[in-house]
Amino acid sequence: MEALAASSFAECRLVSGVPAISGSTSSSNVVSSLAFSRNAVVAGKARGLFVTRSLASRQPKRLPLNCCAADGNAVATESATAESAADEVPIEKRYPAFPSVLDINAIRNILPHRFPFLLVDRVIEYNPGVSAVAIKNVTINDNFFPGHFPDRPIMPGVLMVEAMAQVGGIVMLQPDVGGSKETFFFAGVDKVRFRKPVIAGDTLVMRMNLIKLQKRFGIAKMEGKAYVGGVVVCEGEFLMALGSEE
């Protein structure tokens, strides 16, 4: 009986970590010690499990590497498909034509100019009395290229200014504005700058905006910019005279 108690007490010391009590120990004390040890072990396991779960809950969630790789492959595949689709479209079909708000016949009904001095081919945006955007297709067949210059065809700057003034005329030659073909004149320019040469084969895109209109004096002030390929090639301020028929 004493040997059994001693071995049980030794097991209690090993499991619970509590030092053995020296001296004689009764069986009831041994049973109490064993119960205490078992409770301590259960509590320790519970605390360890709680700590483990707490640490696990704090760890950031990570996506599987194969998932990220799959997403990357999908993006790369879509990009490659888009590029191949663009390559399959012939170059002559990739660039849409300019819209035609006013064609050459409508322009001839507004402007009094005729060959060889009608320098507006198409109006692509039109807000009567406010603004207009028009284009001039510059070709080697234009009658000014043989003399300007024979070895290097460049559109004369004064003709770029004239073309922009004609776009301004399209803006202003409206009944509600008060302009008419017989009494509308190009009165002056200011702050004109030529940024880049315009050569045969270019498409001159011109925007004219009304800044100020003085109907009492018959003066309209406008600002204009001309572009080739989205780059400004000419800009300036324009004065238009709205004379009376008297």
In 116-177, where does DSSP find H-type helix? 157-172
d(CA 121, CA 203): 10
Q: Residue 205: name the closest of 152, 148, 167, 157 by CA.
A: 167
Q: Cα dist. 67→59, 60, 73 in Å?
A: 19, 17, 10
Q: Can you read off the two tokens belonging to residue 11?
A: 């097991």
Q: What are the beta bridge partners of residue 237?
A: 190, 223
- Between CA 52 and CA 49 the distance in angstroms is 5
Asked about 148 being catalytic, the answer comes back as yes
Annotated active-site residue in 108, 113, 148, 196 = 148
Of 166, 167, 170, 181, nearest in space to 242 by CA: 181
Alpha helices for 128-214 (secondary structure H): 157-172
Cα distances (angstroms) measured from residue 214 to each of 7, 59, 234: 117, 74, 26
Amino acid at 25: T
- How far, in Å, CA of 13 to CA of 5, rounded? 12
d(CA 21, CA 35): 16
Cis peptide before 116 (omega within 30 of 0): yes
> Would you please indicate which residues are annotated as catalytic (active-site) residues?
148
